[in-house]
Amino acid sequence: MAIELSRLIGKVQHMDITLVAGEGGLSNYVTWVHMAETVEASDFLEGGQLAFTTGIGLRSKEDIFSLVKAFYEKKVSGAIFNIGPFIEEIPEEVKTYCNQHDFPLYVVPWKVHLAEIMRICCFAITKDEQRMMETSAAFKNAICFPKQEELYVVPLSQRSFRVNWKYSVTVIKLQTKTDKLEERLEALCLILENRIRHRNKDFAVFINEMELILVFANLSEEVLKEEIKEVQHSLNQLLRQDESYSMGVGRLTKSVRCLYKSYNQAKSIQRLQSRGKIGNENVFYTNLGIYRLLMGIEDREIIVDYYNHTLLPLREYDSMNHSDLCQTLRCYLTHDGSVKETADELFVHRNTVNYKINKIEELLGIEMSSLTSRAELIIAFKLAEIM
């Protein structure tokens, strides 16, 4: 993990540190700190660090400019220079370069020890990462092991998450062509975490089974919807052209003990969206009509048993005979039993549809003229979509 530069500098603001250029880059993320006194030493930088220098290896204004340029090219998040015997001031051309490239450049007087600033920064990064890891682990336990309250109630309470707050889980699945999915998710997780922090402090963002999980706490439904809109806006900005995502938002729970229910709802909605069964705008549990009722069935065996006694015989027949009776039935039900509209959509003759409907009635032992039979089949298709 990492911490936003502006938030990290806030930890050492009392040490007479001053921003002289590059204000546009204060939202950069810092993974660690590094001392680099020369351009050659900058070769060891890998990006994301906060660079420090006393200027001991710099002999001219050109050397300062070269070092700052090297920092930027190495994707360093920002730099802190000691002003004193080796660097009297930051040259104007260096400030101009930093402003043009949104590269934050700070200065501190010689009396301030860089080692102390580095110590505080390292401690802040480590503590922030530890806090996020422990919070994420507690929420994972609440989702996976809801009956083992000792795994999450106390740890979350110690981090100011109250047991009886309302909680909502959001599941985001990324579709991408990259073979480094975990790294991509970690990058998105980091950005979302820092953006949400500006608006809300009672939340968690983490990765679970190659999915992004967001947990919001202590919010009203109206505020939750606004938060999700902001998350969607951020994702639309951050995703590459070959990337897309599906999302589901579970309803607000009565307490953290019910977090797993919100997760299961969010997961079902995300799955429906990824399969094209609902639109991208339908991410909230409260907007899903009949799916809300079906998602409330917690015993999966009930769902499987219902499916097996309704649609499974038809699925098995299609598989054995290479037929499309299931597709015909779904289309027929979608068009409220209209043979003409079904034939038009499937580009077949009406007699073909009638023949297949008769075959379906024979295989399932039902009459399609029965409203009850149609309702049962519609429910079976809906259940198959959330299985």
- Cα angle: 252, vertex 257, 261; to 5 degrees: 50
Tokens, residue 41: 């030493």
Lowest mean pLDDT segment, chosen from 41-55, 276-290, 308-322: 276-290
Contacts of 130 (CB under 8 A, 6+ apart): none
Q: What topology is assigned to 301-386 in CATH?
A: Arc Repressor Mutant, subunit A (1.10.10)
pLDDT of residue 299: 73
Average pLDDT, the chain: 91
- Mean pLDDT across the stretch 282-301? 77
Rounded Cα–Cα distance for residues 333 and 368 (Å): 9
In CATH, 128-292 is 3.30.70.270? yes
Tokens, residue 259: 């977090």
Rounded Cα–Cα distance for residues 40 and 246 (Å): 45
Quick one: pLDDT band at residue 199, thresholds 50, 70, 90? confident
| pLDDT of 163 strictly over 90 | yes
Rounded Cα–Cα distance for residues 59 and 87 (Å): 9
pLDDT one-digit tens code per residue, 362-380: 999 999 888 888 988 988 8
Contact 131, 159 (CB under 8 A): yes
Contacts of 155 (CB under 8 A, 6+ apart): 134, 135, 137, 138, 141
pLDDT of residue 1: 62
Q: Which residue has the higher pLDDT, 276 or 236?
A: 236
CATH for the stretch 3-112: 3.40.1390.20
| pLDDT of 144 strictly over 90 | yes
Rg (alpha carbons) of the chain, rounded to whole number? 29
Extents of the domains making up the chain: 3-112, 128-292, 301-386
Its pTM stands at 0.74
Lowest mean pLDDT segment, chosen from 129-143, 235-249, 264-278, 311-325: 264-278
Quick one: pLDDT band at residue 191, thresholds 50, 70, 90? confident
pLDDT one-digit tens code per residue, 83-140: 999 999 999 999 999 999 999 999 999 999 999 999 999 999 999 889 889 999 999 9
What DSSP string describes 299-362?
-HHHHHHHHHTTTHHHHHHHHHHT--HHHHHHHHHHTTT-HHHHHHHHT--HHHHHHHHHHHHH
Rounded Cα–Cα distance for residues 136 and 193 (Å): 12
